[in-house]
Amino acid sequence: GRWDEVLAITGCHIASDAVNAIRAATRDWARQTGLSVYDQREHTGYLRHLLVREGRNTGEALVVLVTGPGDLRGGEDLVAALSAIPTVKGIHWGVNEGQSEITGVPTRKLWGADWIEERLLGHRYRLRPGAFLQTNTSMAEKLYEVALDFADLKGGETVYDLYCGIGTISLTMAPKALTVWGIEVVEEAIACALENAEINNVPNVGFFAGNVGLALAELRQRAGNPDLVIVDPPRAGLAGKALRRLAELQAPRIVDVSCNPTTLAGDLKVLCGDAGYDLKRVKPVDMFPHTPHVECVARFERVDQ
């Protein structure tokens, strides 16, 4: 029940051998350099987070070290240790100057590639340090298959993909739809989405960066009314303005890919209340084995259609 304890482990059973090797090499380097460790209570210290992005279907890994402000002493030794691991394709460094425990900070490349690639359901996805991708690749494919089933596309639909990330759901839906439009606030993720559409030769998708609650009106002017809206919101659920704007679209169908059933329940109450929708189907997907957490895919249909 402690959030501030760091356990010394020799191996994590749900991480790959490569990820365990990356963690061990970074730990040994940290001990050798003598750099201070960040204290979350006192807000002092330097070393904060190690982020490893891994393509389980490609065998490629991207490493991001997040520190507090200050020079990275011994950075050359860290690069030497990590670049010796065959799966590591790029090493980046980010600085978190605030107190919040976040890893999504701007990064500087220390060595190697700017991105790695992963493969999902026949598509290649380019992944940069700040872009989101489901951590459990095998179950991510199952999750998107459920979303595609719930979408029930016939080929002539205009689809909005809200919180689209690097375009994984958009590209999964595109072969079954007329057009797919993705919105994401993280510009780095949109850059990846545009690249992913190009490298997969998917012409009927469009992406642009923007806050979902603020950008929907512009998207509607550009793309017309949606036949289906896919939402894949953060754990906090749909923000108030985004939820209101979603309801105002009056799309015939909504598919919600929720990583938090608790906030899904709150959004469901609004959608099935004044917004005029019925909940037709819900299916949980176990993305996080050995934890109580599940994702849920929910399908809503307008009552008056």
- Mean of pLDDT over the chain: 94
pLDDT digits (tens, 9 = 90+) for 81-95: 999 999 999 999 999
- Name the catalytic one among 12, 164, 192, 259: 259
The mean pLDDT of 105-124, rounded to a whole number, is 96
pLDDT band at 176 (very low <50, low <70, confident <90, very high): very high
Per-residue pLDDT, 131 = 85
pLDDT digits (tens, 9 = 90+) for 259-273: 999 999 999 999 999
Predicted TM-score (pTM) of the model is: 0.89
Per-residue pLDDT, 305 = 61
Which of these, 67, 64, 76, lies nearest to 109 by C-alpha position? 64
pLDDT of 123 higher than 90:
yes
CA angle 259, 144, 117 (to 5 degrees): 95
pLDDT digits (tens, 9 = 90+) for 126-135: 999 988 888 8
Per-residue pLDDT, 137 = 87
User: What residues contact 62, with CB distance under 8 A and at least 6 apart?
Assistant: 52, 53, 54, 88, 89, 90, 91, 92, 113, 115, 116, 127, 128, 129
* Burial bucket for residue 235 (CB in 10 Å: 0-12, 13-18, 19+): exposed
Partner residues linked to 65 by β-bridges: 50, 93
Q: Is 12 a catalytic residue?
A: no
pLDDT of 239 higher than 80:
no
CB 80 within 8 A of CB 112: no
CB 142 within 8 A of CB 125: no
- For 66-70, 140-144, 215-219, which range has the lowest pLDDT when averaged over its residues? 215-219
The mean pLDDT of 234-241, rounded to a whole number, is 85
pLDDT of 142 higher than 70:
yes
More confident position, 239 or 125: 125
Per-residue pLDDT, 155 = 97
pLDDT of 38 higher than 90:
yes
The mean pLDDT of 114-130, rounded to a whole number, is 94
Per-residue pLDDT, 132 = 84
pLDDT of 140 higher than 70:
yes
CB 214 within 8 A of CB 241: yes
